[in-house]
A = this chain, B = another copy of it.
Amino acid sequence: MTGPRFTPLAASLPATVPFVGPEAQERRMGRAFGARLGANESLFGPSPHAVQAMAQAAGDAWMYGDPEVHELRAAIAAHHGVTPAHVVAGEGIDGLLGYLVRLLVGAGDAVVTSDGAYPTFNFHVAGFGGTLHRVPYRDDREDPEALVAKAAAVGAKLVYFANPDNPMGSWHDAATVERMVAAMPEGCVLLLDEAYADLAPAGAVPAIAADDPRVIRMRTFSKGYGLAGLRVGYAIGAPDLVRAFDKVRNHFGLGRVAQAGAIAALADQAWLAGVKAKVVEARDRIAVIAGANGLRPLPSATNFVTVDCGRDGDFARRVLGGLIERGVFVRMPGVAPLDRCIRISCGREADLAVLAEMLPLALKAARG
């Protein structure tokens, strides 16, 4: 018997996965992490109102979620001052990235991103046969001018740009992003990943006309709202582009529990403001811990701090490994020269106390 006949594209794809979860590491180590600071989750948790809404929706989970996601999209639209026709919600930004790439990118189509930016975007571009062109970071920040220039040079259909950025935590001000949108080549869409925008300082989030066909913004309930385990993201864009998601999306992909939790989370802006304040405190604390160990914390507009370990990638990987084996889950950028850094998510006092205890030991072992 022959096996299944995969498409040539599917057959050509590597079986690698974008991220290994901390659970897999815990299974391998045979014990749980003492501090979970690697996935930029919100250790401050979701709004209690969201928890209650999910618990209540659990009893109603026998009903499919509304495939039009009407109520949540209406709430998102009201929150951002757009209409529901500008909003598509889906299974996290990861899911929406896949749908957007599928709509725009076919075999050999050019796509631009930064070298070291979000791997899951690259996973989707490869998954639909696109050709990815990478631009280096500049001073640990994405380089808007270089991204636009590359897009023009290669005739890109899509450019990925995260603001604030992951994995570096850096950001550009609103005016810079607005100039980038204005400079997009004809027929090229700017995918503005704003996963961390809820935690960014004033001035880092641009005002963009929702009808602008040159840009689509993506947001998530996974970061500031503390609902990574619910999987709800959304995109804001021109209605023509937003409507096209209906051609390819998993229409019942957002369940009833997910929709209920997201609606309640969005309504509790006071909780989000509280989280933002705690994130600022935690960033400062991580910076102090890093500094006390002779490491340089990079400025951050996100719920994590990227810490320059001061040497090369091999050294940073040893520091990372030392933290992981001491029960501190952290991650790091995958590409040089960013990989001289490790990335530490904001956490509660107790989590950061574990970090403070283990970092000197990990460093000592790494310097070995």
Q: B-contacting residues of A (Cβ < 8 Å)?
A: 1-10, 13-15, 17-21, 23-24, 27, 36, 39, 41-46, 50-51, 54-55, 57-68, 70, 91-92, 94-95, 98, 102-106, 109, 120, 127, 157, 186-187, 189, 213-214, 222, 226-231, 238, 240-241, 243-244, 246-248, 250-258, 261
CA distance A57 to B44 in the complex (A): 15
* Inter-subunit contact A2/B257 (CB<8 Å): no
**Given known A-B contacts A55-B54, A67-B19, A230 and B246 have beta carbons under 8 A apart:** no
* Inter-subunit contact B39/A70 (CB<8 Å): no
* Inter-subunit contact A54/B45 (CB<8 Å): no
* Inter-subunit contact B258/A255 (CB<8 Å): yes
Contacting A4 at CB < 8 Å: which of B15, B23, B104?
A: B104
Dominant SS among interface residues on chain A? loop
- Shortest Cβ distance from A38 into chain B, in angstroms? 10
CA distance A4 to B102 in the complex (A): 12
Contacts of A228 in B (CB 8 A): 61-64, 252, 255-256
- Shortest Cβ distance from A262 into chain B, in angstroms? 11
Closest 6 CB pairs of A and B: A229-B256, A54-B58, A55-B55, A23-B66, A7-B106, A61-B229
A sample of 21 inter-chain contacts (CB < 8 A) reads A1-B186, A2-B213, A5-B104, A14-B247, A17-B67, A17-B246, A19-B67, A23-B66, A23-B70, A27-B70, A39-B63, A41-B63, A41-B64, A46-B59, A46-B61, A54-B61, A57-B229, A58-B257, A64-B229, A230-B256, A257-B257
Contacting A62 at CB < 8 Å: which of B24, B45, B214?
A: B45
